[in-house]
Amino acid sequence: MSHYKTTLADEAATQALGKRLALHLRPGFSIYLHGDLGAGKTALTRALLHAAGHQGHVKSPTYNLVEIYQIQLQGQDVKIMHFDLYRMTSPEEFLEAGFREEFNEHTVCIIEWPEKAEGILPPADLNIFLRIAGHGREVELQALSDKGNECLAKLNFAPNL
C-alpha cells in the first residue's frame, strides 16, 4: 500500500492539500486524521469541505462529536460526516449513537481522534498523520485499501526521496 510524506509550510499548504483531497473523494470513503491538538486536522477538513462545495461555516465538532454536510460529487448526493471523537469517553458511545451504521457506500467519513474509538472503527481507506514541525506541519498519508491507494495515486505527489 502506498505512503507519502511531505511538508506543509503554512496554512495555505494545508488548505491546498484539503482541496486536492476533495477532488478525489468518492462515496464510501473514510479518512482518519491523526495528530495533536492544533496540528491542523480541522483546518484540513474545512478546506476539503469548502472545495467539495459546502458554502457555509465549518465548525469543529468537538462538542457534538459529529457535524454532517450534504454535498454533491459528480451529480450524486453524498453525506459527509465530520467526526471529532476527542471528548468521547468510551468506544461504546460511538456504537450507541449509531455512528457505526454511517460507514456505508453513501457516506464519506472523516474522523479526528479515531484512537478514541479504537477497536470498533472499521479500517480507514486513508490515514493522515499531521505533526507540528517548526512553524509548519509535516504530513504523512497512508493508504490502507485499494480505494485509498487509488486516491493517493491520483493526488500525484512527487516520489519520496
Q: Which residues bind ligand ADP (CB under 6 A)?
A: 8, 10-11, 13-14, 35, 37-43, 112, 135-137
Residue 14 partner contact from Mg ion, ligand ADP, none using kind-dependent CB cut-offs of 5 to 8 Å: ligand ADP
Q: What is the DSSP letter of 90?
A: -
Output b/e per residue, 18-48; b: 16+ Cβ within 10 A. bebbbebbebebbbbbbbeeebbbbbbbbbb
Min. distance of Cβ 118 from ligand ADP in angstroms?
A: 18
**Contact string (CB under 5 A) for Mg ion, positions 109-128, x = contact:** ---x----------------
> Do the beta carbons of residue 5 and residue 127 sit within 8 Å?
no
Partner from ligand ADP, Mg ion, none binding residue 43, C-beta < 5-8 Å depending on class: ligand ADP
Which one, of 149, 81, 158, lies nearest residue 114 by Cα? 81
Amino acid found at 5: K
Q: Which of 14, 42, 127, 142 binds Mg ion (CB under 5 A)?
A: 42
Residue 21 vs 73, nearer CB to ligand ADP:
21
Q: Which is nearer to ligand ADP, 4 or 149 (by Cβ)?
A: 4
Count CA within 13 A, CB hemisphere, residue 32.
20
